[in-house]
Amino acid sequence: MSRPPPHSRATPSAPRPTPAAGALELDAFLPYRLSVLSNTISGAIAEVYQQRFGLSIPEWRVMAILGRYPGLSAAEVAARTAQDKVAVSRAVSRLIAAGRVQRRFADADRRRSILELSAAGQAVYEEVVPQALALERSLLEALTASELEQLDTLLDTLLERARHLSTSELP
């Protein structure tokens, strides 16, 4: 597994210089870097399902979770995709209108929806998933096995930490 040649500033030889203490250097600011990275990657993947199937990001996320866990309710989909219930409601409506998702309601509790991909939805799912995974793979093959594990740990640690921040820092 060969590493690509280092580029403009990807060589860890010179550690990113911390600018004058107390200054905010956007290029070195973790939240900003994460945002740029995330948007760049999501954009690349979105090209796959937006161009070919006219799916929005929330729609694709709903399909992704239903493909793997059929029968969830809208609230469960919202929880699993980290989207709010309004976004899920709208995504589901459009998916039903497009014939990609089927909905029925639970007998025991007629408020609770039961969502599944339709055959057509399943077909889309099975076409998009390999491309999404291929794209992820082509990103990650830049990393060694050890880096991959570091990445995994780092993301978990940071997310864990970030969740505490946003709930505990309220004045």
Partner DNA sequence: CTAAAATGGTTTCAGATGTAACTTTTCACC
Partner DNA sequence: GGTGAAAAGTTACATCTGAAACCATTTTAG
Contact map string, positions 40 to 59, toward DNA, x by CB under 7 A? ----------------xxx-
CB nearer a copy of itself, residue 105 or residue 158: 158
117 neighbors 96 (Cβ within 8 angstroms): no
Structure token pair of residue 111: 């408020």
Contacting range for a copy of itself; rule: CB under 8 A; set: 24-32, 96-104, 106-114, 116-124: 24-32
Among 9, 52, 85, 163, binds DNA (CB under 7 A): 85
Among 74, 101, 124, 128, binds DNA (CB under 7 A): 74
Q: How far apart are CA 64 and CA 11, in angstroms?
A: 36
User: Interface residues for a copy of itself in 37-76 (CB under 8 A)?
Assistant: 37-45, 47, 61, 64-65, 67-68
Pick from a copy of itself, DNA, none: which does 101 bind, CB < 5 to 8 A by kind? none
Q: How far apart are CA 35 and CA 48, in angstroms?
A: 20
117 neighbors 75 (Cβ within 8 angstroms): no
Which residue in the block uniquely carries the two structure tokens 């929330």? Answer: 58
CB nearer DNA, residue 54 or residue 130: 54
Among 2, 11, 146, 166, binds DNA (CB under 7 A): 2
**Which of 105, 136, 99, 140 shows the shortest CA–CA distance to 121?**
99
In this structure, which long-range contacts are made by residues 140-144, counting pairs with CB atoms below 8 Å and at least 24 apart in sequence? 141/1, 142/3, 142/4, 144/1, 144/3
User: Whole-angstrom distance between the N-terminal and C-terminal Cα of the chain?
Assistant: 49
Pick from DNA, a copy of itself, none: which does 89 bind, CB < 5 to 8 A by kind? DNA
CB of 42: closest distance to DNA in angstroms?
Answer: 11
Q: How far apart are CA 112 and CA 12, in angstroms?
A: 52
* Chain positions contacting DNA, by CB under 7 A: 1-2, 56-58, 73-76, 84-90, 92-93, 108-113
